[in-house]
């Protein structure tokens, strides 16, 4: 049986690996940056109040990468993701 200390170390190591994996998965590629720019321009995002309590739906979101980045632009928005 695994001792409690070993178990906790294993869980911390797993947590660290998961954070590294996720951080890599949300890095924007040049194509993603261009598509995001086109999307934001098309909805006149400049007219939106970044602090307004917006509701944003991301349909066919995949891993939710776009919403992850939009959350930084609109910190008070509520996101609804559906893949």
Q: What is the pLDDT along the chain (83 residues), one digit of tens a residue?
A: 557 778 788 888 887 777 777 776 666 677 777 877 787 777 766 677 778 888 989 898 887 878 887 888 888 999 999 98
Residue 36 near residue 69 (C-beta atoms within 8 A): yes
The closest of 65, 60, 58, 78 to 24, measured between CA atoms, is 65
Q: In 3-state terms, what secondary structure has residue 34?
A: helix
The predicted pLDDT at position 25 comes to 64
The predicted pLDDT at position 45 comes to 63
Dihedral angle at the C-alpha atoms of 51, 57, 63, 67, nearest 10 degrees? -20
The predicted pLDDT at position 11 comes to 80
């Amino acid at each position: 049986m695994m001792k409690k200390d070993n178990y906790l170390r294993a869980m911390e190591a797993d947590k660290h690996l998961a954070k590294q994996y996720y951080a890599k998965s949300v890095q924007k590629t040049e194509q993603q940056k261009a598509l995001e720019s086109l999307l934001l321009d098309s909805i006149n995002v400049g007219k939106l109040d970044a602090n307004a309590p917006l509701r944003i739906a991301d349909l066919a979101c995949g891993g939710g990468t776009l919403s992850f980045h939009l959350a930084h632009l609109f910190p008070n928005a509520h996101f609804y993701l559906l893949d």
